[in-house]
Amino acid sequence: MLSEGSKAPEFSLPNEAGEQISLSSLKGQKVVLYFYPKDDTPGCTKEACGFRDNYKLFTSKGAVVVGISADGEKSHAKFKEKYELPFHLLADPEKQAINAYGAWGEKKMYGKTYEGVMRYTYIINEDGVISHVFPKVKPEEHALEVLEAIG
């Protein structure tokens, strides 16, 4: 995981519509960059809907929300449409950003150990520096926790 105060790694990934979105294209705004395991699964849906339900509060604080998973563009498009998500979902099947942000690692579920995308969130300030790190995310409460950190 990256630490607060470090420069956020650049990325350029396609969103659900196939448009390239890069960190540098978001400069001048606060960026809530959240990594999640899989589209349309229970925890990921709760987390995404929390960001959706509070999206106007994020934008009123000068922040944009961007979700990244290893799912492809078509999967993201279905997920975004189904839940009316107002923010970009970036496809990272090659795990470019996922690895750069330390969001790939060992996970445990039902007694089994496997490798996967970690549920991590970073707040990146207007200058591209990480201001907050959330290594342990509870999907139900996470959007409010991030809003509080933005101030």
Catalytically active residues, by annotation: 44
CA 65 to CA 44: how far, in whole Å?
14
Burial 118-143 (b: 16+ CB within 10 A, else e): bbbbbbbeeebebbbbbeebebeebb
Cβ–Cβ < 8 Å for 63, 30: yes
CB atoms within 10 A of CB 146: 23
Asked if 53 contacts 65 with a C-beta cutoff of 8 angstroms, the reply is no
Q: Which pair of tokens denotes residue 34?
A: 């959240």
Query: How many whole angstroms separate alpha carbon 46 and alpha carbon 138?
Result: 9
